[in-house]
Amino acid sequence: MRRLPGGTPRSREQVYRWAFVVPALVYIALFFAFPVVKNVVMGFQDYTTASFYTGEAPFVGLRNYRTIFADPQFWPSVLHTGLFTVGSIVGQFTLGLAMAVFFRRRFPLSTILRSLLLLPWLLPVIVSTALWRSLMDQDAGAINVVLKSLGVVDTGIPWLSSPSVALLSVIIVNIWIGIPFNVAILYGGLQDIPEELYEASSVDGAGPWRTFWSITWPLLRPTVTVVVLLCVIYTLRSIDIILGLTRGGPANSTQTLPTASYFQSFQQFQFGLGAATSNVLIVVAFVFALLYLRATRRSLTD
Amino acid sequence: MTRSLRARRVRSTRDAVIGVLLLVLLLFPVYWMVNLSVQSSGSNLASSLFPTEIHLDGYRAAIADQSRNLATSLIVSLSSVVLTLVIAVPAAYALAQFRLRGLNAILLILAVTQMIPGIVVANSLYSAYNDLGLLNTTVGLVAADASHSIPFAILLIRTAMQGVPPAVLEAARLDGAGLFRAFRSIAVPIARNGVITAALFSFLFTWSDFIFALTLTTTDTLRPVTLGIYTYLGADQTDWSAVMATSVLASLPAIVLLLVAQRYIAAGASGGSVK
């Protein structure tokens, strides 16, 4: 048997090498693979609290899916999930990009300002929802107080208490939470664009707008793809923002697929229905995950 | 020349002012949280721009109601950091330095795990935990919470481990160091910054956890502070000074780390697929 330096036989060395990775693989199997498989299976079962006592969860074919698709709240939840995701991404990305481009200029304090900017993203989401609930309070919240004193509105806007405004409010809060992440990643992408290109462009007399569209945007495209896809994936699955701000209300106007699944499983104890709803979410997330992997394949496995 | 220099100075001062204003605007909600936390207790939200008097009623209520929850969060978060590092550091080393079969597949799986919706994991874990008696246990909560950070930590530390020169490891092996010894005394110290960044983020991720606190704990014996705030918000009459005082206390880890460990936090934020 060939021996490696250190005196370990080669085959045993191989085993030891795998020993470094095995705990991680076991963890992933238990806390990611198993839950996904179990959730898919539960989607075909009549799984309720009774199942916990009797240990029985009869298979019911597609009944859970027929039930959720027939639920009048299902398609509105899909729509809210879509609006919440698109609205959040558009806001986070455009504001994040504008700020990243701004911070690219060199000026005093820019590094420290850029790090402090991360704060909203580092706070626990539940904390952010608590403070925005106080800001968005209809009667005494700071936003309405300011708007009223400026004469913009006569009566306070029912940010979180009106079904027609609540989803927009939830999106505004999610934009606030997501801006720092967008700035951080996009700023990183901007740093990779060679300075000479900007110098050349300025010698050619191109204005800032022209420079942005002819240099910054095309060269930033790979980073843009990654940041947008990541944010879509994280927004699709987010649940704490909505539960913290509105608990899906008022009148289900902010109910999304993850919150609907939560209520089915953990409030109505219909785990089969909750699983079916979140399986729809898995399919959607999977599509974006594939797009993300296609975009990052090379950098990931380098 | 001097004119363009002066113009540049004027421009950079103007940019700094814009930058500060931008930050003030974006962080205003955080300031407002602190401001409301020192108002007198009650459901009153009206407040002047600056606190005229400092009331500590909110903090008194927060400590009375939530100190146990804060302690729970601290214990769970620290344990989750330990679990994350024990699993992620060796794995990251192996994925960076060994030519393992199926390496690319493992890396793809790690990236995908971060995209699995938390509600899916919670839904399945609830019934599994119920069977195993792990609901309302610290061990169960820590194990689930580590899922927020393990894949992220492996990918982040792996990048740092790629900076370890294979020649140095080989030399150590030739000197008689075993596989584990080379990992512990050479690779880990070189990848130190990556390990610290991963540790700080796994603390923050677990500290912020809401979905597993909400679904895998059902009694108030084991209740992280995020769930404590959620419960506060669900009350009929919100005692805003108590909510905001608790929120300030729950924000301390993020604020402190941002101030004292800025370098690591910035590295983690731009480290790619986070959160």
β-strand partners of A45: A59
| Preceding amide of B189 cis, omega within 30 | no
- Is residue A4 pLDDT above 60, yes or no? no
Query: Is A195 inside any structural domain?
Result: yes
CA B227 to centroid of chain Cα atoms: 16
Please state which of the ranges A207-216, B16-25, B44-53 shows the lowest mean pLDDT.
B44-53
The CA distance from B133 to A245, in Å, is: 32
Residues 62-81 of B with CB under 8 A from A: none
Looking at this predicted complex, what is its ipTM?
0.91
The DSSP code for A33 is I
Count CB pairs under 8 A between chains A and B: 311
Q: Which residues of B touch A123 (CB under 8 A)?
A: 30, 208, 251, 254
Percentages of chain A per state (helix, strand, coil), in multiples of 5: 75, 0, 25
End-to-end CA distance of chain B: 48
- Candidates B30, B82, B37; CA nearest to A123 is B30
CA distance B161 to chain A (A): 13
Once rounded to an integer, what is the mean pLDDT over residues B129-158? 95
Model confidence pLDDT, tens digit, residues A171-197: 999 999 999 999 999 999 999 899 888
Per-residue model confidence (pLDDT) at position A1: 44
Model confidence over A237-249: pLDDT tens digits? 899 999 999 999 8
Task: Transcribe B246-267 into DSSP letters.
Answer: HHHHHHHHHHHHHHHSHHHHHH
Domain definitions of chain B by residue range:
65-269
Q: What is the CA radius of gyration of chain B?
A: 23
For B171, phi and psi rounded to 5 degrees? -60, -40
Domain membership of residue A132 (yes or no) is yes
For residue B113, which amino acid is it? T
The answer as to whether A2 is a domain residue is no
Alpha-carbon distance of B69 to B213, in angstroms, equals 11
Predicted structure pTM score: 0.92
For A48, phi and psi rounded to 5 degrees?
-130, -175
For residue B271, what pLDDT is reported?
A: 62
CATH 1.10.3720.10 fits B65-269, yes or no: yes
- Give the CATH number for residue A157: 1.10.3720.10
Q: Is residue A58 part of a domain?
A: no
Per-residue pLDDT averaged across A120-130, rounded? 96
Q: B23 at the A interface (CB within 8 A)?
A: yes
Mean pLDDT of B226-232: 95
Q: A9 in helix, strand or coil?
A: strand
**Residues spanned by the domain of A92:** 74-300
Residue ranges of alpha helices (H) inside chain B are 2-37, 57-97, 103-113, 118-132, 138-145, 150-161, 166-174, 179-182, 188-190, 192-208, 211-216, 225-234, 240-260, 262-269
| A190-204, A220-234, B132-146 — most confident range | B132-146
CA distances from A2 to A12, A14, B229 (A): 11, 12, 61
Beta carbons of A126 and B210 less than 8 Å apart:
yes
Do residues A68 and A277 lie in contact, with contact meaning Cβ atoms separated by under 8 Å? Answer: yes
Task: State the Cα–Cα distance between residues A238 and A254, nearest whole angstrom.
Answer: 12
Q: Are B247 and B33 in contact (CB under 8 A)?
A: yes
Question: Does the distance separating the beta carbons of A266 and B214 come in below 8 Å?
Answer: yes
- Interatomic CA distance for residues B61 and A22, integer angstroms: 46
Residue entry with tokens 């005093």: A108
The helix-helix angle for B57-97 and A10-28 (nearest 10°) equals 150
A139 pLDDT exceeds 90? no
What distance in Å separates residue B191's CA from the closest CA in chain A?
Answer: 16
Per-residue pLDDT at A158 exceeds 90:
yes
Inside any domain, residue A43:
no
Does B206 lie at the interface with A, CB-CB under 8 angstroms?
A: no
Among the partner-chain residues B32, B123, B274, the one whose CB lies closest to the CB of A131 is B32
Q: How many domains does chain A have?
A: 1
pLDDT at residue A171, rounded to an integer: 98
Please report which confidence band the pLDDT of residue B273 belongs to, taking 50, 70 and 90 as the band edges. Answer: very low
Nearest to B90 by CA among B218, B166, B222, B188: B188
- Per-residue model confidence (pLDDT) at position B249: 96
In a domain, A247, yes or no: yes
